[in-house]
Amino acid sequence: MPAFIVHLIHTLFPKTVLFPDILLIDLGLVVGGIGLFIFMTKTHRWGWLWREWLTTVDHKRIAVLYLIAAIVMLFRGGIDAEMIRAQLALPGTHFMPAIQYDEVFTTHGTIMIFFMGMPFIFALFNAVVPLMIGARDVAFPRINAMSYWLFACGAILFNISFIIGGSPDAGWTAYPPYTGLAFNPGPGENYYFLALIIAGIGTTMTGINFLVTTVRMRAPGMTLMRMPLFIWSAMVTSALVLFAFPPLTVALAMSLFDRLFGSSFFTLGHGGMPMMYVNLFWLFGHPEVYILVIPLFGVFSEVVATFSKKQLFGYPIMVASILAIMFLSYGTWVHHFFTMGAGPGVNVFFGLSTMLIAIPTGVKIFNWIFTMWGGRIQFTVAMLYQLAFIPTFVIGGATGVMLAAVPADYQFHNSYFVIAHFHNVIIGGTLFGLLSGLYYWWPKMFGSKLNEKQGRVAFWLFFIGFWVTFSPQYLLGLKGMTRRLYTYPAGLGWHELNVISTVGALIMGAGFVALVFNIVWTLVYGERDLTGDPWDGRTLEWSLPSPVPEYNFARVPVVHARDAWWDMKQKGQSLAQLSPEDVHDIEMPRNTPVPFLLGVAFFVVGFALTFKWWPIAGIGLAGVFAIIIFSGFDYEDHHHLKAEVVRKTEASLGRLQG
Amino acid sequence: MSSVPLAEERDQKLPVEFADEKESINITGFWTFLVTDVLIFASLFSTYAVMHKAAALGPTSVQLFKMGPVMLETLLLLTSSFTIGLGVYAMRRGQVRALMLWMVLTMLLGAGFVSSEINDFISFAHIGATWHTSAFLSAFDILVGTHGAHVTFGIFWALTLLFQLKKRGITARTARKVYTFSLYWHFLDIVWIFIFTFVYLNGKIVP
Amino acid sequence: MAHSETELTISEAYERDNDRALKFLKPRFHEEKFPMTQILGYIGSLILTFAAYFLVINRVLPSIALLAVILTLAVMQGALQLGVFMHVREGRGLAWQLIPLYLVFLIALGMVGMSVWIMLFKSGVS
């Protein structure tokens, strides 16, 4: 065997990726991959895959792609979580080697935030935002697809690290000097930085896209103060993405340059300043937690109004508080590193600004409760998540205010108290919100309701599992257990609480299984929803048939009130009864391979840079530029859907008069 | 002039790059992109501000910077901002040849800027002032280098626009592309002014 | 649809906008027979640049004051570029870009200023 092949094998498959469990997964992936390939070829589905999914620019299909990715990543991140809990269940365990434990908690955090939470949110945005504002697509359909494929490329790059080359192992925050070349020579951290930079570019483009969509693409009559709250939340989230991701990109790029090109930003010698990374990272990181939760505030605002059969209480105040949260979230980042010792002035400023955020958030909680007050509440699964969210998020928020008190934070810092706090807000706020939105909008996306009975089982498993997992962790934190701890001796009083926590994690795992069963069962046996409006909804997406035709609205609606569809129903109007002369030719974006190819090119760049294969990285980069230039010269990016075709589709849905 | 009635002035047609709804949405989108780019540079400026004094064993800013080439670069970039401004002015009057001429001039001035900058970097490398030397030089190189990379990208972008203008003339779509390019170019000019002030001039102020 | 809209005037586009109540975003266009504004803007930018240069080279002020003055000149120069060359108040319907621009200048200023403040490490305890 030539020497370079031996070298290649040693580079790609070092000892850290040759644990027996990983080899088993390798085998499973190879067998599964071959099986999938044979299946696709036998059933002649490659063309279908290419035409319908890989080259699509339709926001509804991109939403499905995001959703699939998010659920797969929820599985991966969940497995990581179960592994962490298995390792920590008993004192002195060696369930897995310490190095693998480091990798697992790193990938758990990174995947759950960047590759589960954000794509799940973008799935909901893509599925619903254009429908809610009466638009035919997002502002930039092609860029929307590019965002997806860049995200997918980043996600794949990040996920293959555990089978090829080794995973990152410096925590999801990737602080230097842990990530410095001197202490971490493997390719793992390169994977981390490149994957997040590439996915981050995609996310920034999504932010631009949805900001412009919500600002410029609203149907006639939908003024700012008539927008559904979910649209407000999409707008504010997009603005947060715009303002938060640049510092992250810069911080990651600098760390990467330190590793690849010998610069001295965050090194220990040459005057480098590791804490500047921390500063830049949290400049992104704090707005990021609001990026993760504000969309779900929007979801809850829609869900609570629909299932209480009432207009949302205090709409203007809800809008004001969401904007206040947006502003305040930029002035709080230092509370993630109070213990750095920036000085009393700095810490007091950021402690107070952090506490201030509790006020608009509290306002929102009260408004949701007042919306339910006196309403006819329907206990659907979406509403159950809403009801579970309120107490969970209040407790998570209250412990957050505890952490904002600087002297107390010096005690809490890096303990399990912090772990419990942020899981409390991220699971209680983000995950419950995402699942609420999933159950609420599933009929619109796929044309059938998720089975409610099974959904309830999944809900209770998640809800109970969550509390069993994380309430012991508050106590563990107070008893001095620190985060990212590999193992601990018996006799510290941590033993029982850790066992309880692990049991809770298993219950949540069962919840995930129930959720997937629910989804698969519904896809196979689910009852078709023919009304298009199964929940008696209030906003415009429910005025359309499910699933929604390619062009969304045959005739663009005119909005006269907040909760536009409810208003139309009250007045006896309907978008369903369309006269043939109302239908005109519709300009639609044309499918294009550009976004997918761009993702592939970026993947080549990312993978080659991870292993410092400069020529291949150069080829990939040339590919990126070639694709961008080609896209610039491509003026045939739309086509006209003939009125006749639209009429035929609408007639087949029974929505055309005469 | 005085003979033009006021009413007609109020009811001006939209300029060509705003004439089409979809194209005008792209302009809003480009402004939004510029907002993210402002923050990329703000992050780089923050890093530079923090690391300015971290010269370690390498040269400090006072020792390193030569103002001659910097003034030349500033002059070139300011002038190129002026020429692309005139280009957009010509575009709005439908003068495609004048527009292309101004764009070529802009590109040449931009190329002059980039080559002078590269020359600077080479001369720094000759005295051992690379970004490995100190955190200060790392922060300086990435800030100025990112700007230079933007300008270089802009030159190639303008080149592709020239081909499109040649083929299609001034339409709502090509006009929008030129307009967004001009926004990009002026934006780089503003960033350079801050680099000039905050990095070079500030680097010459001895405390 | 798109074809009939190509002939809109500035005020028609504004009147059709959903959010014309936001008066501060009303667009303003500036057209001239001769590009006088551009020429004056160019001269202005040169004056501002060279003024900053000579202030620094001749060290007319103490360091901190000098930095403050040249940064003010730079901000003026930026505003000039935005106003004269970037047509910042133009837009179809409303000039929406003004809101993110105001925000981003605030945030960028905060980012640089606060980062310097934070990274000074004026702590007695660490």
Contact C5, B6 (CB under 8 A): no
| Least confident range of A161-170, A456-465, B5-14, B60-69 | B5-14
Cross-chain residue pair A275–C119, CB shorter than 8 Å: yes
Cross-chain residue pair A264–B33, CB shorter than 8 Å: no
Residue whose tokens read 């007609």: B8
Q: Residue C18: which of A223, A341, A587 has the nearest Cβ?
A: A223
Residue of B nearest to C11 (CA): B11
Chain A positions touching B47 (Cβ under 8 A) are: 250, 254, 265, 276, 280
Tally of CA atoms within 13 A in the half-sphere of B41 that contains its CB: 26
- Given a cut of 90, whether residue C62 has pLDDT beyond it is no
Chain C positions touching B207 (Cβ under 8 A) are: 63
C67 lies in which domain range?
A: 25-118
Residue of A nearest to B129 (CA): A263
Report yes or no on whether pTM surpasses 0.80. Answer: yes
Residues A37 and A174 in one domain: no
CB burial of residue A244 (10 Å; 0-12, 13-18, 19+): buried
Residues A333 and A401 in one domain: yes
Q: For the residues A309-317, what does the mean pLDDT come to?
A: 94
Q: CA quadruple A290, A295, A298, A303: dihedral positive or negative?
A: negative
- DSSP classification of residue B18: G
Q: Where are the domains of chain B?
A: 37-204
Q: Which residues pair with B129 in a beta bridge?
A: none
Closest CA of chain B from A271, distance in Å: 5
Residues A38 and A64 in one domain: no
How many CB atoms lie under 10 A from the CB of residue A345?
13
Neighbours of chain C (3+ CB pairs under 8 A): A, B
**Which residue from A234, A363, A232, A365 is spatially nearest to A304, judged by alpha carbons?**
A365
Query: Which site among A133, A142, A201, A212 would you substitute to test the B interface, given the most B Cβ atoms closer than 10 Å to its Cβ?
Result: A212
Q: Residue B42: which of C57, C86, C112 has the nearest Cβ?
A: C112
Cross-chain residue pair B54–A271, CB shorter than 8 Å: yes
The string of pLDDT tens digits covering residues B87-99 is 999 999 999 999 9
- Given a cut of 70, whether residue A167 has pLDDT beyond it is yes
Element (H, E) at A614: helix A614-633
Cross-chain residue pair B22–C2, CB shorter than 8 Å: yes
Mean pLDDT estimate for chain C: 87
- DSSP classification of residue A581: G
- Give the pLDDT score at B116: 96
Chain C positions touching B85 (Cβ under 8 A) are: 35, 38, 41-42, 84-85
- Give the pLDDT score at C9: 87
Question: Thinking of the domain B37-204, which architecture would CATH place it in?
Answer: Up-down Bundle (1.20)
**Which residue from A219, A178, A46, A196 is spatially nearest to A107, judged by alpha carbons?**
A196
C95 domain residue, yes or no: yes
Amino acid at C61: L
How far is A468 from B192, CA to CA, in rounded Å?
56
Q: Give residue B207's pLDDT band: very low, low, confident or very high (50, 70, 90).
A: low
Residues A11 and A152 in one domain: no
Residues A496 and A587 in one domain: yes
Interchain CB contacts (distance < 8 Å): A and B: 114
Cross-chain residue pair C5–B43, CB shorter than 8 Å: no
A146 lies in which domain range?
A: 45-592+637-652
The string of pLDDT tens digits covering residues A538-558 is 999 999 998 899 999 998 999
Q: Give residue C95's pLDDT band: very low, low, confident or very high (50, 70, 90).
A: very high
Chain B positions touching A243 (Cβ under 8 A) are: 35-36, 39
How far is C123 from C11, CA to CA, in rounded Å?
57
Q: Residue A346: which of C1, C118, C125 has the nearest Cβ?
A: C118
How far is B79 from B207, CA to CA, in rounded Å?
32
Chain B positions touching C11 (Cβ under 8 A) are: 10-11
Element (H, E) at A641: strand A638-641
Question: What percentage of chain A has pLDDT greater than the value 70?
Answer: 100
- Given a cut of 60, whether residue C5 has pLDDT beyond it is no
- DSSP classification of residue A533: -
Residue of C nearest to A332 (CA): C114
Residues A217 and A343 in one domain: yes
- Give the pLDDT score at B23: 92
Closest CA of chain C from B42, distance in Å: 5
- Given a cut of 50, whether residue C86 has pLDDT beyond it is yes
Q: For the residues A22-39, what does the mean pLDDT come to?
A: 93
In angstroms, what CA-CA distances link A542 with A128, A440, A505? 10, 11, 37
Structural domains in chain C (count): 1
A463 domain residue, yes or no: yes
Closest CA of chain A from B15, distance in Å: 18
Residues A117 and A19 in one domain: no
A548: phi then psi, degrees, rounded to nearest 5: -75, 135
Percent helix, strand, coil in chain A (nearest 5)? 70, 0, 30
Residues A97 and A32 in one domain: no
Contact B28, A253 (CB under 8 A): no
- Give the pLDDT score at C125: 43
Q: Does B139 touch chain A (CB under 8 A)?
A: yes
Q: Give residue A576's pLDDT band: very low, low, confident or very high (50, 70, 90).
A: low
Mean pLDDT estimate for chain B: 91
Tokens (6 digits) for A306:
């629909």
Q: For the residues B89-115, what does the mean pLDDT come to?
A: 96
C1 domain residue, yes or no: no
- Give the pLDDT score at C50: 94
- Give the pLDDT score at A296: 96
Q: Give residue A145's pLDDT band: very low, low, confident or very high (50, 70, 90).
A: very high
Q: Give residue C60's pLDDT band: very low, low, confident or very high (50, 70, 90).
A: confident
A602 domain residue, yes or no: no
Cross-chain residue pair B134–A204, CB shorter than 8 Å: no
- Give the pLDDT score at B5: 42
Residue of A nearest to C119 (CA): A342
Structural domains in chain A (count): 2
**Which residue from A499, A429, A511 is spatially nearest to A464, judged by alpha carbons?**
A511
The string of pLDDT tens digits covering residues C26-42 is 998 887 888 999 999 99
How far is A125 from B29, CA to CA, in rounded Å?
18
C16 domain residue, yes or no: no
A483: phi then psi, degrees, rounded to nearest 5: -75, 160
Q: Give residue A156's pLDDT band: very low, low, confident or very high (50, 70, 90).
A: very high
Residue whose tokens read 């094998």: A9
- Given a cut of 60, whether residue A484 has pLDDT beyond it is yes
Residues A579 and A442 in one domain: yes
- Given a cut of 80, whether residue C2 has pLDDT beyond it is no
Give the ipTM. Answer: 0.94
Peptide bond connecting A344 to the previous residue in cis, omega within 30 degrees of 0? no
Closest CA of chain B from C19, distance in Å: 15
Residue whose tokens read 């493997």: A186
C10 domain residue, yes or no: no
A600 domain residue, yes or no: no
Q: Does B123 touch chain A (CB under 8 A)?
A: no
Give the SS3 label for residue A419.
helix
Closest CA of chain B from A107, distance in Å: 26
Residues A66 and A140 in one domain: yes
Tokens (6 digits) for A117:
């939470």
Q: Which residues pair with A415 in a beta bridge?
A: A482
Query: Which site among A217, A284, A340 would you substitute to test the C interface, given the most C Cβ atoms closer than 10 Å to its Cβ?
Result: A340
Give exposure, C100-109, as e/b (b: 16+ Cβ within 10 Å).
Answer: bbebbbebbe
- Given a cut of 90, whether residue A580 has pLDDT beyond it is no
Closest CA of chain B from A321, distance in Å: 23
The string of pLDDT tens digits covering residues A429-438 is 999 999 999 9
Cross-chain residue pair C122–A330, CB shorter than 8 Å: no
Residues A281 and A211 in one domain: yes
Q: Give residue C122's pLDDT band: very low, low, confident or very high (50, 70, 90).
A: low
Tokens (6 digits) for A227:
């927008």
The string of pLDDT tens digits covering residues A589-633 is 999 999 999 999 999 999 999 999 999 999 999 999 999 999 999
Residues 6+ apart with CB under 8 A from B173: A635, B20, B23
Mean pLDDT estimate for chain A: 93
